[in-house]
């Protein structure tokens, strides 16, 4: 009788070891998966942060362009219709409101864009200003009952955060 008792005890010890190894393997896989998920979430948060930094920089540059329109009296004399010979540095005269200047502009060319005063080597900030044609509705624009001659501008700004190459472009239409 004692022989049977000893044999059954050895068989049970092997099953416990196998179950323990399986549980350890499952826990290891869960830990590795949790670490990978955490790393991915950190990358997503960092990318979102970099995008927000670039967006705020582009907004700041956009406001700088609008401020230039608002404060410059002899502004419209420097406008050009030529993207390759833009000696006016980022100031364009658009013949049609649907013209997409920001696609034709070389944003890395200092002669085609205006560099922001907030620009740095880590954050290149630039913008262009386009004077749009006055909408032709068959009559003059009227504000408070009198005809006004207003100029319409589209400001397009671009910001890049070089750490992760987050690129943001924003636009506004400005009436002066």
Query: Residues 95-128: pLDDT tens digits?
Result: 665 667 677 778 787 778 888 887 776 677 888 8
Q: Give the burial string for 8-45 (b: 16+ CB within 10 Å, else e).
A: eeeeeeeeeeeeeeeeeeeeeeeeeeeeeeeeeeeeee
In degrees, rounded to 5, the angle at the alpha carbon of residue 90 between the alpha carbons of residues 157 and 65 is 45
Report, as an integer, the average pLDDT of 72-92: 57
User: What is the count of structural domains for the chain?
Assistant: 1
Higher pLDDT, 175 or 120: 175
Query: Residues 47-78: pLDDT tens digits?
Result: 888 888 889 989 999 999 888 888 775 555 55
CA–CA gap between residue 51 and residue 34 (Å, rounded): 26
For residue 81, what pLDDT is reported? 55
- By residue range, what is the domain housing residue 36? 2-175
Query: Residues 136-168: pLDDT tens digits?
Result: 554 555 555 555 567 788 889 988 876 667 788
Which has the closest alpha carbon to 155: 113, 127, 126, 118?
Answer: 127
């Amino acid at each position: 009788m004692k022989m049977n008792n000893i044999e059954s005890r050895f068989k049970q010890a092997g099953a416990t070891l196998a179950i323990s190894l399986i549980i350890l393997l499952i826990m290891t896989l869960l830990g590795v998966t949790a670490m990978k998920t955490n790393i991915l979430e950190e990358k997503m948060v960092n990318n979102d942060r970099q995008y927000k930094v670039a967006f705020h920089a582009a907004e700041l540059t956009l406001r700088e362009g609008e401020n230039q329109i608002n404060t410059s009296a002899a502004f419209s004399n420097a406008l050009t219709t030529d993207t390759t010979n833009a000696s006016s540095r980022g100031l364009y005269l658009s013949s049609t409101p649907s013209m997409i200047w920001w696609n034709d502009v070389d944003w890395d060319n200092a002669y085609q864009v205006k560099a922001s005063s907030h620009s740095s080597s880590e954050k290149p900030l630039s913008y262009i200003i386009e004077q749009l044609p006055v909408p032709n509705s068959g009559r003059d624009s009227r504000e408070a009952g009198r005809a006004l001659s207003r100029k319409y501008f589209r400001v397009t700004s671009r910001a890049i955060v070089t750490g992760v190459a987050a690129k943001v472009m924003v636009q506004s239409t400005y009436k002066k």
